[in-house]
Amino acid sequence: MTSQHTASEVRRHVNVADWAALATELDEYGCALTPRLLASEECRAIAGLYERAELFRTTVDMARHRFGSGQYRYFTHDLPEPVAELRRAFYPHLLAIARDWAARLGRPAPWPDDLDEWLAMCHAAGQDRSAQILLRYGQGDWNALHRDVFGDMVFPLQVVIGLDEQGTDYTGGEFLLVEQRPRAQSRGTTTVLRQGHGLIFTTRDRPVRTKRGWSAGAVRHGVSTVRSGRRRALGLVFHDAT
């Protein structure tokens, strides 16, 4: 951590968020913006990790794979402290929402109270590679609509944290969420990802109330074209990859 915040302070910033309000917003829109979690200098420090190749297991050129344009890197399991601490702090709060959603949809809720136990279950199922990522976009870059589903073991919520400030460091680059509502047209939502704030969003689908009860609304996410500057973000995923 930087001198600005200790690990315990990061946990406190996550814990004191209005989680009832965030859960309500997730129910309504499929995404919810948290209060500020990281100071500007902490955001710059995390963004700067991108240059330390030893911290990452692989680098993905998005254009090469037709994922959009830009680049991201997957961390190894040896996560830097601020990344690991943010993930640990979020998990119990997201777990309560995940279990509630599973109950509404009549699905199993396989996620234990302990994050490490859940990750061990992922590894036993063959999903044993870290899915935590740093993303970097420049002018003209964008991220195609997609889902971060890497196998059968899926946690239904994830978090992205803005490391640069829209309007100062870059323009454009809004977060996109597109939901296919049951027996209806798709609905799109855009969010400006503010520096140091987290955006919680649906990984794959979420419960949507219909006349017949609860149905699963399929969701994809992406990033609109960055018009100028550089946009960097930290992605926290709560299941591992194959």
More confident residue, 181 or 179: 179
pLDDT band of residue 188 (cuts 50, 70, 90) is very high
Residue among 158, 227, 231 at smallest CA distance from 193: 231
Residue 180's Cβ-count burial label (10 Å; 0-12, 13-18, 19+) is middle
- Averaged pLDDT for residues 104-126: 97
pLDDT at 182 over 80: no
More confident residue, 213 or 122: 122
pTM: 0.95
pLDDT at 3 over 50: no
Residue among 95, 71, 231 at smallest CA distance from 158: 95
Give pLDDT tens digits for 4-31.
Answer: 456 788 899 999 999 999 999 999 999 9
Long-range contacts at 59-65 (CB < 8 A, ≥ 24 apart):
62/141, 62/143, 62/144
Please give the Cα distance from 80 to 197 (Å, whole number): 19
Range in 99-113, 171-185, 198-212 with the lowest mean pLDDT: 171-185
User: Which residue reads 């509502």 in tokens?
Assistant: 181
- Averaged pLDDT for residues 47-51: 97
Query: How confident is the model at residue 8, as a pLDDT?
Result: 81
Query: How confident is the model at residue 175, as a pLDDT?
Result: 98
Mean pLDDT, rounded, of the chain: 95
The neighbour count for residue 192, using CB atoms within 10 Å, is: 14
